[in-house]
Amino acid sequence: MAWAVIGTWRMSREGCAKASEILKNNGDAADAAVAGVCDVEDNPSFHSVGYTGLPDKEGRVKLDGGFMDGNTLHFGAVGSIEGFRSPVRIARSLADREFNNFLVGAGAEAYAQSQSFERRDNLTPEIYQKYLEKKNAVKKLSSYSGHDTVCFLALDHSGRLCAATSTSGLFLKDPGRVGDTPLAGAGFYADSLIGAAAATGVGEDIMKGALSHEVYCRLKAGMSAMEAASSAVYELSETLKKRSGACRSISLICLDSRGRYGVGTNTSFPFVYAAWNEPLETWIAEPDGNAVRIHLPGPEDLNLD
Amino acid sequence: MAWAVIGTWRMSREGCAKASEILKNNGDAADAAVAGVCDVEDNPSFHSVGYTGLPDKEGRVKLDGGFMDGNTLHFGAVGSIEGFRSPVRIARSLADREFNNFLVGAGAEAYAQSQSFERRDNLTPEIYQKYLEKKNAVKKLSSYSGHDTVCFLALDHSGRLCAATSTSGLFLKDPGRVGDTPLAGAGFYADSLIGAAAATGVGEDIMKGALSHEVYCRLKAGMSAMEAASSAVYELSETLKKRSGACRSISLICLDSRGRYGVGTNTSFPFVYAAWNEPLETWIAEPDGNAVRIHLPGPEDLNLD
């Protein structure tokens, strides 16, 4: 039976292997997408998600996460939540409620506590040291670094498509800043009959284009996954350059309802894909005019994570 | 020169008059849309926005607001903010920042305080009394009442389209719950070259369809404002009934780039519209199959606000 999974950045490789195992064994797309994201949330090597996430301006690690079920269009999300192990698991638990699917700040923390979600201090001494070094040099930062959201999209044998996301957001962000990652339509979107999409990069620019929903609209209008993703990112980048003066890094992954992937990006962007008919592989996507060029990593890509 | 303004619910009538004056005098669409929303935020007769807004489960009035500039696609937004007079003014002030355009909870309050936005306790003794009466009877509520967001869309003589929104959200919502109102793509969207849209009703369902951006996509594909708004609301309602078992109240207003309006709704929905060639008028929109019927209020509409 057909299944497929795609994840953002090299950091999603191990999670992608776990998700593939679930899907190969006729598991569920929701379980697969969430397992992929959880793997990254728990990995201390990746500093933009979960444990060892990057702190805000006050030195606190506040996390965003989202989940969407393409069968029901139900979604769950948390924004600016501190002190818990897995924003994506909390987000998923909110998806099937009648109301109150998106919770932020202290309210989200009270909910997570009431449901006995595992607590964790995600700030380590090494990351705090990095924060102390950078916070007074913030004007010298050429751009916010570490804005790398993990996103997984999964299609299972039943045809269910799900999206799951998690991030610590922009390094040195203002307290209470929420990006695109927990927002259905901006950071993710999933409809099992059409396709699913999820974005990573500078959330403020992704939100200006409601980018994941834009890709969904293009798939619905008949574009291929590759065409939908690459044209949406290209056009948003061009629009923002023209009308707002600049467009920062944006990358996007999508899966159509048959599990074929598409990628759009305005920067070098590694992603990981596996499917019933394709072994797990890390690829690099590069912007190429208004399209995208996909290739296996070469020596010049070693510094991309 | 052409100008136009549209607002949700009867409560937007006085604000619509203020916005019209601004636009008639060659004022700016951002000023007009925000002035319209501010009028409702300050009016003690309307219990779903600003002053006398409806409390959450803990008896606290937490507000959401958003703003978008259709020229630049810049947006600003606050979610779950307490103790300030005007969420929409705070939202607008966030729109032209490079980063950190969407702030929630304590972080949003700290920002508003730092910028000297006017503080106000929006909870009155009468509303607190209503809260005390209802909170233990919550299971008997047939649905959440008072989920009426004020939205304004304005087109000015220069062709600039702006959207502005404000709400206290669902009555007795969970602490930290954020709805569609502050979310670009869900609660509002504006692009001066195409059109603008904004939504009111049950935010959780509006977010499932990224409804304001969906209407934008339909305008972009060539539909009229009326066709785009009515078909998007009708299709989302049908999709949610089929795939999620139910769809709650949803209404949506839009303006195309020439100031012509469209409305979509699955319930009786009053709105207010004025333009360079049309006097200010309150209208009632009713669902009519997959379209919408617009008429002047009759005696049977007196209870609709």
Whether A146 has a pLDDT exceeding 60, the answer reads: no
Q: Which of B67, B26, B19 is nearest to B190 (CA)?
A: B67
- Chain A environment of B216 (Cβ under 8 Å): 210
Domain ranges of chain A: 4-301
Give the pair of three-digit tokens for residue B76. Answer: 């600003």
Q: How does pLDDT run across A227-273, given as a tens digit for each residue? A: 999 999 999 999 999 999 999 999 999 999 999 999 999 999 999 99
Instruction: Encode pLDDT of A199-216 as tens digits.
Output: 999 999 999 999 999 999
Residues of B in contact with A71 (CB under 8 A): 243
Residue positions counted in chain B: 305
What was the pLDDT predicted at B141?
46
User: How many helices (DSSP H) and strands (DSSP E) are in chain A?
Assistant: 8, 13
pLDDT tens, B167-204?
999 999 999 999 999 999 999 999 999 999 999 999 99
Q: What is the mean pLDDT of residues B27-55?
A: 94
Could you report the per-residue pLDDT of B232-264, keeping only the tens digit for each? 999 999 999 999 999 999 999 999 999 999 999
Please give the CATH architecture assigned to the domain spanning B4-301.
Answer: 4-Layer Sandwich (3.60)
Per-residue model confidence (pLDDT) at position A143:
46
Are B210 and A209 inside 8 Å of each other by CB? Answer: no
DSSP codes of every residue in A113-144:
HHTTPPB-----HHHHHHHHHHHTTGGG-SS-
Q: What is the mean pLDDT of residues A152-180?
A: 97
Nearest to A177 among B71, B100, B184 (CB): B100
Confidence of residue B140 (pLDDT cuts 50, 70, 90): very low
**Structure confidence by residue, pLDDT tens digits, A83-115:** 999 999 999 999 989 999 999 999 999 999 999
When CB atoms are compared, the residue of B75, B107, B244 closest to A176 is B107
> For residue A139, is pLDDT > 90?
no
Contacts of B184 in chain A (CB under 8 A): 186, 207-208, 210
Mean pLDDT over each residue of chain B, to the nearest integer:
94
Tokens of A62: 């506040």
Does the pLDDT value for residue B147 go beyond 80? no
Q: Does residue A264 contact residue A205 with C-beta atoms inside 8 Å?
A: no
Beta bridge partners of B269: B285
Residue A140 pLDDT greater than 50, yes or no: no
3-state secondary structure B30-71: HHHHHHHHHHHHHCCCCCCCCCCCCCCCCCCCCEEEEEEECC
Identified catalytic residue from B8, B52, B149, B282: B149
